[in-house]
Amino acid sequence: MKKHKYGLVLSGGGTRGFAHLGAIKALEENGIKPGIISGVSAGSIVGALYADGQDPEKAMEMLANKKLWRFIKIIFPKKGLLKMTGFERTLQGSLKAKRFEDLEIPLLVHAVNLNTVEYTRFDKGELIQAIKASSSIPVVFQPVEIDGHQYVDGGVVNNFPVEPLVDTCEKIIGINVNPLGEDYNIKKLSAIAIRSFHLSMRNHAETRRDQCHMYIEPDEVQYYGILDLKSASKVFEAGYRAAKKALAEMD
């Protein structure tokens, strides 16, 4: 017997992470609740809110009502262009739990240690710093310092952290919010950079999807940017529909 009946893997993907919340709503409606969550970047944020006992729709509304300029602060670009000052305040005001041990569902958060070049898992101790570290996209955001080490977005190395759940869960449900379709409008340098980043993240999920009993990938979210707060409700609904479809195919 494995420790948990269901394990949930949540990929990174910026504001496409709202699709995670929609998919979780569909899973709940079908009586599925994970015993453990493994998340990275946006998946760590959603995972923390859900593990904290928050309703998926209310969590979506709470995050979507926060303007991007309140999440970030522009700084002189020595280590990163943006600082997550407002984002940290938002998490502090939104999470009841302050430590991993306070969460209702066990949560594994992943980041990359820049100093030791290690893919690091956080599952105990202070919660918000670990989420910030996991969500700190290199160059865009400053690295997050924890115990003298600098950390960045875990999605750089593995954007679909299914491995820690394989030996502890009877069934694993994976949600990847980084689908890629054809795009012939890649002209600007920024578009090339984002597309290349997505290619890497997409590959992480593709090579690991066979370890999931259910794999949810909302194709529609490819049409939304990774910092598009205005489309939060549409991305949420895309995740909900994709999960409903996956559940129907499992029946």
Per-residue pLDDT of the chain (251 residues; tens, 9 = 90+): 789 999 999 999 888 999 999 999 999 999 999 999 999 999 999 999 999 999 999 999 888 875 544 555 544 455 545 556 667 787 888 899 999 999 999 999 999 999 999 999 999 999 999 999 999 887 677 889 999 999 999 998 999 999 999 999 999 999 999 887 777 677 777 667 667 777 777 778 888 999 999 999 999 998 887 778 889 999 999 999 999 999 999 86
Report the pLDDT value the prediction gives residue 66, as an integer from 0 to 100: 58
Six token digits for residue 5: 């009946």
Report the pLDDT value the prediction gives residue 24, as an integer from 0 to 100: 98
- Among the listed residues 44, 2, 8, the one whose alpha carbon sits nearest the alpha carbon of residue 25: 8
| Separation CA 137–CA 185 (nearest Å) | 24
| Separation CA 55–CA 70 (nearest Å) | 23
Report the pLDDT value the prediction gives residue 228, as an integer from 0 to 100: 80
Global pTM reads 0.89
